[in-house]
């Protein structure tokens, strides 16, 4: 889309301020009787200066403020009426002059000057054209292009008058009228008309100087260069002829040669610029094609009427058509038939508010292959502006494989749900059906002890004791399995202060700590985290309990607990001075039912550290041990900061 180089606000404002300033100088000259201000290559009448001042104010208001529109409309109409009356005055040779109305009652030199002057007809005509042009541009938008040429005519006429003064050719600045437009006035008309034309900068000849595209850039450069060259050459020719350096015929010949040479020079420069611009455009087009063809998605571009204008290779492969078959066709050719009827309405709605949009997530969008089968897609739409035309570039992804994977995952989730239900049933069986026989055996052992105490010898009593111990261990193992399975069920994150959590753990293990003479040292302040509070407390309890359990003989346990912040997590550590762990078992100990010692040495079922691993992984972290046999252990785990 072409961009405007000159501001359609600031340039008219600056022109209006300049016109207003110059007219104020002229009015001051009339009021103070200063001829220097009012006679620069001819006088500027008071009425002319006032009309310039009024139109300068209108130009400033129209371009920036646009307040009191009807008041300034009246001002423009007033200027038109006065200038029309001035033309009638000149035609009727009315010598009193309308300027007397602006300065009546004065005598002397000023009165004599006013009686001899009036607004020249050509000046009045130019004022009328500028006023009509401003009225049309501001209030009759439908015919802006027509009224824009009013300003161009004024610019052209004022330029002719300026040239007439520069080259001292009276016929050019008098136009055979009795009164002439001054050089000062023609300069003001030149800038007033240009400023007014910038009220609509993209219309008429003004667009050549304001729109930033290759043709206009070359045209305005060539025009300005040729204009200055012609003016300079013509001026030199007049000077040569005036002082009779060479004959008139020879000077004309030299001027023709100079014109041709200058034209050829500037044409070659313009040609080079055009060639360079075309080369850059070709390179850009090739790069664009390369990007389009190497895009990972199918790309299809269409215009506002729905006609396909571009397709890349992946688009051909996706839809089964060749590029020649698709380009020029309606976009509905790749849309399933059941949606085609409503698509033009949707397309018009999109062009009404063209913004980048993404379709497909959570929706059922389909495209149709040349062979007739439909397939699911995701589509991204991006508006593409080319001049005044807005097209749409669609990026299309075939999500058939993704849908298959989603269906597979959905099926696996159903199967997992079934497995979970089976596990819940197993948990029910374990908590009821497995515990029931154990309770029965335990009850019979109790009955034998109570009812047959006298009949039982020491050996039988020992056997019953062993049976009761085995039943208790089996019951404890079943409960431990249930606890492991329940980890993470109905879990809910909550903000937990780790210092408070650890204080509760110490209170729960107080008897164990006192019995073993253990010392727990918290080396730094622990953070508050979003964790599963019950499970997180169990994590600390298991690790502290293990640190006390696996202590060295005759060595009181010393347990150090701390935390080190990392980039996106906290790293906790629990260090002890216990028996340590051989490095080769550092991963095995976190597996369920894995024990490194006999039950008569250290009691337990090999589930505690497995629970710790599961709890840490529930929080998105990891757990490991750093230890050597006989040197104590450091258990470390990470918890996310989120």
Closest CA to 95 of 77, 114, 80: 114
Shared domain for 26 and 149, answered yes or no, is yes
Shared domain for 108 and 235, answered yes or no, is no
Domain stop point among 277, 293, 309:
293
212: β partners:
3
Domain stop point among 212, 231, 258:
212
* pLDDT over threshold 90, residue 44: no
- 71-80, 316-325, 472-481, 610-619: least confident range: 472-481
| Entry pTM | 0.45
Dist CA 625 CA 634 (whole Å)? 6
In this structure, the dihedral spanned by the alpha carbons of residues 4, 6, 8 and 14, taken in order and rounded to 10 degrees, is: 180
Looking at the chain, the whole-number percentage of residues with pLDDT higher than 90 is 10
Output DSSP code: residue 307: B
Shared domain for 585 and 512, answered yes or no, is yes
- Are 376 and 396 spatial neighbours (Cβ–Cβ below 8 Å)? no
* pLDDT over threshold 90, residue 561: yes
- Find tokens 């996706």 and name the residue: 318
* pLDDT over threshold 70, residue 639: yes
3-state SS string for 412-473: HHHHHHHHHHHHHHHHHHHHHHHHHHHHHHHHHHHHHHHHCCCCCCHHHHHHHHHHHHHHHH
Mean pLDDT over all residues of the chain?
A: 79
Q: Domain containing 346 — which CATH number?
A: 3.30.450.20
Question: pLDDT grade, residue 564 (50/70/90)?
Answer: very high
400: tokens are 């058939």
| Three-class secondary structure of residue 632 per DSSP | coil
470: tokens are 């085995």
Which strand (E) or helix (H) includes residue 359?
strand 357-359
Shared domain for 173 and 318, answered yes or no, is no
Q: In the prediction, which pLDDT does 54 show? A: 92
Q: In the prediction, which pLDDT does 205 show? A: 75
Question: pLDDT grade, residue 176 (50/70/90)?
Answer: low
Looking at residues 200-224, what average pLDDT do you find? 71
* pLDDT over threshold 90, residue 575: yes
pLDDT digits (tens, 9 = 90+) for 597-616: 555 455 555 677 888 898 89
Shared domain for 202 and 218, answered yes or no, is no
Shared domain for 299 and 446, answered yes or no, is no
pLDDT digits (tens, 9 = 90+) for 468-490: 777 776 776 666 666 656 655 55
Shared domain for 318 and 359, answered yes or no, is yes
Domain count of the chain? Answer: 5
Shared domain for 339 and 307, answered yes or no, is yes
Q: In the prediction, which pLDDT does 105 show? A: 42
Question: pLDDT grade, residue 1 (50/70/90)?
Answer: very low
Q: 17-26, 169-178, 468-477, 482-491: which has the highest mean pLDDT? A: 17-26
Dist CA 69 CA 58 (whole Å)? 9
Give the domain range for residue 533: 494-640
pLDDT digits (tens, 9 = 90+) for 431-456: 666 667 777 778 777 877 777 777 77
Shared domain for 106 and 162, answered yes or no, is yes
Dist CA 219 CA 168 (whole Å)? 30
- 15-19, 271-275, 309-313: least confident range: 271-275
Question: pLDDT grade, residue 195 (50/70/90)?
Answer: confident
- Are 178 and 172 spatial neighbours (Cβ–Cβ below 8 Å)? no
Q: In the prediction, which pLDDT does 559 show? A: 92
Output DSSP code: residue 364: -
- Find tokens 């710790």 and name the residue: 612
* pLDDT over threshold 50, residue 110: no
Sequence-distant (6+) residues with CB within 8 A of 461 are 449
Shared domain for 543 and 613, answered yes or no, is yes
* pLDDT over threshold 70, residue 334: yes
Shared domain for 475 and 445, answered yes or no, is yes
Dist CA 575 CA 626 (whole Å)? 9
Sequence-distant (6+) residues with CB within 8 A of 72 are 57, 58, 61, 62
Domain stop point among 470, 486, 502:
486
- 122-136, 348-362, 555-569, 571-585: least confident range: 348-362
Shared domain for 388 and 342, answered yes or no, is yes
- 28-32, 94-98, 367-371, 426-430: least confident range: 94-98
């Amino acid at each position: 889309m072409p961009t405007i180089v000159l501001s359609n606000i600031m340039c008219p404002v600056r022109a209006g301020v300049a016109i207003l300033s110059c007219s104020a100088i002229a009015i001051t000259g009339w009021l103070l009787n200063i001829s220097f201000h009012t006679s620069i290559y001819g006088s500027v009448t008071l009425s002319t200066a006032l009309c310039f001042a009024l139109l300068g104010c209108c130009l400033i208001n129209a371009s920036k403020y646009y307040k009191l529109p009807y008041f300034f409309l009246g001002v423009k109409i007033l200027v038109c009426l006065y200038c029309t009356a001035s033309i009638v005055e000149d035609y009727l040779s009315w010598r009193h002059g309308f300027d007397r109305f602006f300065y009546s009652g004065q005598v002397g030199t000023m009165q004599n000057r006013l009686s001899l002057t009036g607004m020249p007809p050509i000046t009045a005509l130019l004022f009328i054209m500028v006023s009509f042009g401003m009225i049309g541009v501001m209030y009759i938008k439908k015919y802006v292009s027509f009224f824009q040429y009013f300003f161009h005519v004024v610019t052209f006429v004022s330029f002719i008058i300026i040239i007439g003064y520069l080259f001292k050719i009276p016929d050019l600045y008098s136009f055979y009228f009795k009164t002439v437009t001054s050089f000062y006035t023609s300069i003001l008309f030149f800038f007033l008309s240009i400023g007014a034309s910038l009220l609509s900068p993209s219309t008429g000849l003004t667009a050549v100087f304001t729109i930033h595209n290759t043709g206009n850039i070359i045209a305005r450069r060539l025009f300005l260069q040729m204009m200055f060259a012609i003016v300079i050459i013509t001026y030199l020719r007049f000077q040569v002829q005036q002082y009779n350096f060479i004959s008139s015929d020879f000077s004309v010949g030299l001027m023709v040669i100079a014109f041709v040479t200058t034209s050829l020079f500037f044409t070659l420069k313009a040609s080079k610029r055009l060639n360079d611009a075309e080369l850059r455009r070709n390179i850009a087009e090739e790069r664009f094609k390369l990007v389009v063809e190497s895009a990972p998605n199918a790309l299809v571009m269409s215009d506002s009427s729905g006609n396909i204008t571009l397709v890349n290779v992946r688009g051909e492969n996706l839809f089964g058509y060749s590029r020649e078959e698709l380009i020029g066709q309606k976009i509905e050719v790749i849309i399933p038939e059941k949606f085609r009827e409503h698509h033009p309405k949707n397309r018009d709605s999109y062009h009404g508010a063209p913004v980048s949009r993404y379709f497909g997530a959570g929706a059922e969008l389909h495209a149709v292959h040349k062979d007739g089968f439909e397939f699911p897609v995701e589509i991204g739409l991006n508006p593409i502006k080319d001049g005044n035309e807005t097209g749409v570039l669609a990026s299309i992804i075939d999500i058939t494989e993704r849908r298959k994977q989603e269906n597979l995952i959905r099926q696996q989730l159903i199967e997992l749900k079934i497995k979970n239900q089976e596990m819940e049933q197993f948990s029910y069986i374990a908590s009821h059906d497995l515990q029931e026989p154990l309770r029965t055996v335990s009850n019979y052992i109790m009955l034998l002890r109570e009812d047959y105490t006298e009949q039982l010898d020491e050996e039988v009593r020992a056997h019953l004791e062993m049976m009761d111990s085995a039943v208790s261990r089996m019951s404890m193992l079943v409960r431990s399995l249930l606890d492991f399975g329940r980890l993470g069920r109905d879990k809910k994150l909550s903000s937990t202060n780790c210092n408070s959590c650890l204080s509760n753990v110490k209170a729960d293990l107080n008897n164990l700590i006192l019995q073993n003479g253990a010392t727990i040292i918290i080396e730094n302040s622990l953070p508050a985290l979003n964790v599963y509070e019950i499970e997180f407390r169990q994590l600390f309890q298991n690790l502290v309990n293990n640190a006390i359990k696996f202590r060295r003989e005759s060595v009181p346990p010393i347990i150090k607990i701390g935390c080190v912040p990392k980039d996106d997590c906290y790293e906790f550590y629990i260090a002890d001075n216990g028996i340590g762990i051989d490095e080769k078992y550092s991963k095995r100990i976190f597996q369920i039912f894995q024990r490194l010692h006999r039950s008569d040495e250290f009691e337990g079922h090999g589930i505690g550290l497995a629970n710790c691993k599961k709890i840490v992984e529930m929080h998105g972290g990891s757990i490991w041990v750093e230890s050597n046999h006989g040197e104590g252990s450091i258990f470390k785990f990470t918890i996310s900061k989120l």
